[in-house]
Chains A and B, each alone.
Chain A
């Protein structure tokens, strides 16, 4: 059974704060790492798909890094806004690329 862990489980920050979360996954047999944002009452939306060790991706105020050798990825949000409030999911795809294994998510709440 693959273990994909996300921390923290939940996070409460104020508008303007920068924050980051961690996704840990098996360091062997890596194929890809996905990040999704899931707002309440909506569908999960892809943020990044990362495939190479050392990869850094950025979309607006959100960025992500990947370390496949040690099995972790960080998601950063710079200058959090209330609209960033959502659950952030990571998902690991192993070497056989047969199925995505999701973490349980980090729930972010940004208040004014």
Chain B
């Protein structure tokens, strides 16, 4: 059974640009959550998608957005990049959502903003 796949694994952008990250969940999982990790911080919740609908959202500015497709694959987009957006972005999938059991994480996309 294939795990959660995130692409790209590494990317470098400059301030003001925008970036799109992709996450393919485990087959059969309908929930995808996104997290940001910066040095010294715990994983910060960005948003959760379930059946193509955003179900929950964390405390991030509107520059951070996401979507989920009918095959449960999800993308997140960050517009007008800032230096502080440099981070590891993790996505996690689960059968029905965070309230129903463990999350399965991808290896992350490491974004560097110069």
Contacts and interface: CB of A to CB of B under 8 A. Distances in A.
A45 B40 CA distance: 20
Interface of A: 4, 31-32, 34, 36, 41-46, 49, 89, 91, 93, 97-105
Main secondary structure of the interface of A (DSSP, over half): strand
Given A43-B90, A89-B43, A99-B33, 15 more contacts: A36-B103, A36-B105, A43-B108, A44-B103, A46-B103, A49-B102, A99-B45, A99-B56, A99-B98, A100-B103, A101-B42, A102-B44, A102-B45, A104-B41, A104-B42
B106 to A, nearest CB: 6
B99 A31 contact: yes
Contacts, number: 59
15 contacts: A4-B42, A34-B102, A43-B90, A44-B90, A89-B42, A97-B97, A97-B99, A98-B56, A98-B98, A99-B33, A99-B45, A99-B56, A100-B33, A100-B45, A102-B44
Contact of A102 (B4, B43, B106): B43
Contacts of B3: 43
Nearest to B40: A104
**Chain B, interface size: which category?**
20 to 34
Given A34-B102, A99-B56, A100-B98, A43 B45 contact: no
Interface of B: 3-4, 33, 35, 40-45, 48, 55-56, 58, 90, 92, 97-99, 101-108
Given A43-B107, A43-B108, A100-B103, A93 B42 contact: no
A32 B35 CA distance: 18
A42 B42 contact: no
Contacts of A104: 40-42
A32 B97 CA distance: 13
Nearest to B44: A102
Contacts of A36: 103, 105
Nearest to B46: A99
- In order of increasing CB-CB distance, the 10 nearest A-B pairs are A97-B99, A46-B102, A102-B42, A43-B105, A102-B43, A104-B42, A99-B45, A44-B105, A43-B107, A98-B56
